[in-house]
């Protein structure tokens, strides 16, 4: 049985426990991104071009292969690394070269970046090199956008249309 | 020996606990059963979660709405369950972290207790994983923040074939299947957690996973009242086209996320993995601590009664079949790796009795090599030798409790044991019977504060005659006093000793036959 002199103490202790749980369950508030900023998020996975050229198999070569492996072309698995750069208002803010994933280097290269920019008008340019040439870019796109506060502006690669996309 | 900072913190902890005892009563003080409180909150979270699973809609478009519906339209029931689910999980984190801190302060993490400490570390990860995935399910702005943050955090490891963060890049990228996967994880992880909690307590004997009833009732009422008065609320629905701004995180689960935001994934991983590895290795970092020798069974003196197996706090003593000529079916066997050398097994043995005929040195069924039963009896004789007056008292207590040396005097002798649970009740009988003292003050750490486990509890039950070995009924109870005293309560114990001596002086003088007068064993 609870002793009468402990009833008040228990009320205080349970109240303090409840206040502590309730307070830190949602307070103090945390500012993740400023209200007036927008967010430019670059998220892209892309497989670079194959390192070696594909070779057409002759009918004799095809005949020697098991029926389930008779692909017309013989291609190497390894892919080129991919370089991606992003400029915002003429200033390069992101430049990264990513190796293809996988033990054989035959997977996709992965890029991710997320950065705050002030809301308002911006010129955003992205360029990507996925082939073997040492300079120049295989894809280069630029867009001028009016970013609203808290807007998330995404830069991706459209694999169907083979171009960098902005949305 | 622990460092001064730790000693000061431990003294502070004892004072807080003592004050809390005064405020709410010992039975309602959660500090003595923080592990059991975490178990209780786990069950509350589990039961409320089962109910929430019924109305929850596992789709990206309707998840937020389904939670919002029960929170607003059915606030008195569904909303209350949602709040119970949240607040009980917060309380579980709180009691779990306090449990960890308290065990560290009380030095209960090394030696044979490495297993419980080591297996406790993954529990922290599991509790946090369960909580974070639960917050994702609400799919509000806080969930969006957690989802993207966690995904970026995991992607940094580079061990996943696909980028997890790409699932949250645009509203179209998010599928209902993802929510099905999420709720599966949110249910599976707590099930693994339950299994891991069972492993965590596997090497603990007489484990108590239920807090005292009045604490359960009080805490349950508090959670219900909190849920009704301050119900859990969602943020606005998640919108992947919109960045999260001001959030109200649950800091019990999300304290590391701002670190990730400010310092990046490398630092966040270093802190979380580094802290976990450090915690895991702590039991072996106490290099200067010398482990005391484990209990040893004396086969000729063991009659296989098995009482020592019930009293061992860590299950270090087990009974095994016996095939020798003793006629006993079983024999006690000590598993040295599990033994903390507390001596409770020695005290529980029915051969640990100074009245029994004996050879030198005294033998018992199970003994502690560096603090034997024989040594206890000899020290009792030595410490009581030369005591003068009509109210001579022998104080028997624990080396981890109050400072007994402060009580020494012409009429007061003291003997520190490694744990009061190592005191055989027959020794008290022996002291009074042989006129070694007029009274015996047994002092132990407060229940729940035992450096080992269960020492104060076993001592109290044995002295009350409710647990074997019992203090013989013929022993005059007015000459035996049991006092709880933590290391910070030496002064209070001295007051109790003085009162006890006054009470002894008022008792009629004991008349003993000549044959039972004092014998000096040394």
Domain ranges of chain A: 37-50+80-166
The A37-46 sheet, strands edge to edge: A109-118, A37-46, A152-158, A163-166
pLDDT of amino acid B520: 45
pLDDT of amino acid B514: 62
Q: How far apart, in whole angstroms, are the C-alpha atoms of residue B422 and residue B445?
A: 13
CB atoms B243 and A38 under 8 Å: yes
Q: Is A103 on the interface with B (CB under 8 A)?
A: no
Q: Is A45 on the interface with B (CB under 8 A)?
A: yes
pLDDT of amino acid B513: 61
CATH 1.20.810.10 for domain B35-285: yes
Every domain range in chain B assigned CATH 1.20.810.10 = 35-285
Q: How far apart, in whole angstroms, are the C-alpha atoms of residue B127 and residue B46?
A: 12
Burial category of B270 from C-beta neighbours within 10 Å (exposed 0-12, middle 13-18, buried 19 and up): exposed
Q: How far apart, in whole angstroms, are the C-alpha atoms of residue B362 and residue B347?
A: 14
Burial category of B409 from C-beta neighbours within 10 Å (exposed 0-12, middle 13-18, buried 19 and up): middle
The A139-147 sheet, strands edge to edge: A91-98, A82-88, A120-129, A139-147
User: Domain A37-50+80-166 carries which CATH code?
Assistant: 2.60.40
Burial category of B189 from C-beta neighbours within 10 Å (exposed 0-12, middle 13-18, buried 19 and up): buried
DSSP track, B258-304: HHHHHH-HHHHHHHHHHHHHHHHHHHHH-TTPPPPPPPEE-GGG---
Cβ atoms within 10 A of the Cβ of B62, count? 15
ipTM rounded to 2 decimals: 0.89
CB atoms B163 and A34 under 8 Å: no
pLDDT of amino acid B522: 39
CB atoms B250 and A10 under 8 Å: no
pLDDT of amino acid B430: 96
Report which of residues A121 and B159 the model is more confident about.
Answer: A121
Report which of residues B120 and A130 the model is more confident about.
Answer: B120
Mark which residues 72-101 of A lie under 8 Å from B by CB: 101
Report which of residues A157 and B512 the model is more confident about.
Answer: A157
Which DSSP category does A143 fall into? Answer: E
Q: Per-residue pLDDT tens for B181-196?
A: 999 999 999 999 999 9
**Least CB-CB distance to B222: which of A3, A18, A27?**
A18
For the segment A17-42, the average pLDDT, to the nearest whole number, is 96
**Residues of chain B predicted below pLDDT 70:** 1-2, 287, 512-522
Residues of A in contact with B24 (CB under 8 A): 6, 9-10, 13
CB atoms B246 and A35 under 8 Å: yes
């Amino acid at each position: 049985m609870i002793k009468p002199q402990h009833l008040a103490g228990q009320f205080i202790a349970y109240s303090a426990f409840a206040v502590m749980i309730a307070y830190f369950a949602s307070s103090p508030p945390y500012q993740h991104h400023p209200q007036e900023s927008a967010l430019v998020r670059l998220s892209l996975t892309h497989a670079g071009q194959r390192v070696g050229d594909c070779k057409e198999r002759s009918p004799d070569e095809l005949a020697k292969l098991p029926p389930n492996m008779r692909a017309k072309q013989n291609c190497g698995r390894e892919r080129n690394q991919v370089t991606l750069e992003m400029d915002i208002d003429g200033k390069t803010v992101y430049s990264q070269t990513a190796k293809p994933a996988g033990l054989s280097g035959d997977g996709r290269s992965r890029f991710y970046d997320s950065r705050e920019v002030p809301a308002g008008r911006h010129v955003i340019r992205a360029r990507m090199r996925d082939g073997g040439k040492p300079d120049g870019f295989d894809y280069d796109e630029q867009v001028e956008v009016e970013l609203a506060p808290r807007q998330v502006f995404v830069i991706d690669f459209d694999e169907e249309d083979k171009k960098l996309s902005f949305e | 020996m622990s460092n001064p900072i730790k000693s000061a913190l431990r003294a502070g902890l004892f004072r807080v606990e003592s004050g809390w005892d005064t405020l709410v009563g010992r039975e309602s003080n959660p500090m003595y059963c923080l592990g059991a409180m975490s178990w209780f909150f786990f069950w509350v979270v589990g039961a409320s979660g089962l109910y929430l699973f019924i109305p929850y809609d596992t789709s990206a478009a309707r998840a937020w709405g389904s939670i919002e519906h029960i929170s607003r339209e059915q606030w008195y029931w569904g909303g209350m369950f949602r709040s119970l689910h949240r607040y009980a999980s917060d309380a579980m984190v709180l009691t779990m972290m306090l449990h960890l801190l308290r065990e560290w302060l009380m030095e209960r993490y090394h030696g044979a207790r490495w297993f419980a400490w080591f297996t406790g570390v993954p529990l922290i990860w599991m509790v946090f994983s369960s909580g974070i995935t639960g917050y994702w399910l609400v799919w509000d702005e806080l969930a969006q923040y957690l989802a993207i943050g966690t995904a970026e955090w995991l992607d940094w490891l580079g061990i996943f074939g696909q980028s997890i963060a790409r699932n949250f890049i645009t509203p179209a990228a998010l599928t209902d299947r993802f929510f099905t996967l999420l709720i599966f994880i949110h249910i599976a992880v707590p099930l693994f957690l339950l299994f891991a909690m069972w492993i965590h307590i596997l090497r603990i004997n007489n484990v108590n996973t239920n807090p005292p009833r009045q604490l359960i009732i009080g805490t349950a009422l508090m959670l219900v009242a909190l849920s009704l008065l301050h119900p859990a609320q969602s943020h606005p629905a998640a919108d992947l086209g919109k960045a999260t701004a001001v959030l109200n995180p649950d800091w019990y689960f999300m304290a590391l996320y701002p670190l990730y935001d400010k310092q990046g994934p490398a630092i966040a991983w270093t802190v979380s993995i580094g802290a976990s590895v450090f915690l895991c290795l702590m039991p072996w970092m106490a290099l200067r601590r010398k482990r005391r020798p484990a209990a040893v069974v004396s086969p000729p003196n063991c009659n296989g009664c098995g009482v020592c197996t019930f009293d061992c706090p860590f299950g270090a003593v087990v009974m095994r079949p016996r095939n020798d000529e003793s006629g006993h079916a079983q024999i006690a066997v000590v598993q040295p790796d599990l033994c903390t050398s507390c001596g409770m097994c020695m005290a529980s043995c029915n051969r640990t009795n100074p009245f029994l005929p004996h050879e030198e040195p005294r033998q018992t069924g199970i003994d502690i090599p560096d603090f034997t039963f024989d040594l206890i009896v000899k020290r009792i004789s030595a410490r009581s030798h030369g005591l003068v007056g009509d109210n001579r008292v022998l104080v028997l207590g624990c080396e981890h409790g109050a400072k007994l040396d402060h009580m020494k005097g012409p009429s007061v002798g003291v003997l520190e044991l490694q744990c009061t649970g190592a005191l055989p009740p027959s020794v008290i009988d022996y002291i009074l019977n042989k006129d070694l003292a007029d009274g015996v003050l047994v002092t132990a750490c407060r229940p729940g504060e035992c450096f080992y486990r269960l020492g104060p509890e076993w001592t109290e039950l044995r002295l009350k005659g409710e647990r074997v070995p019992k203090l013989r009924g013929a022993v005059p109870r007015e000459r035996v006093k049991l006092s709880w005293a933590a290391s910070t309560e030496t002064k209070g114990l001295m007051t109790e000793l003085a009162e006890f001596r006054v009470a002894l002086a008022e008792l009629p003088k004991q008349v003993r036959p000549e044959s039972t007068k004092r014998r000096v064993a040394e």
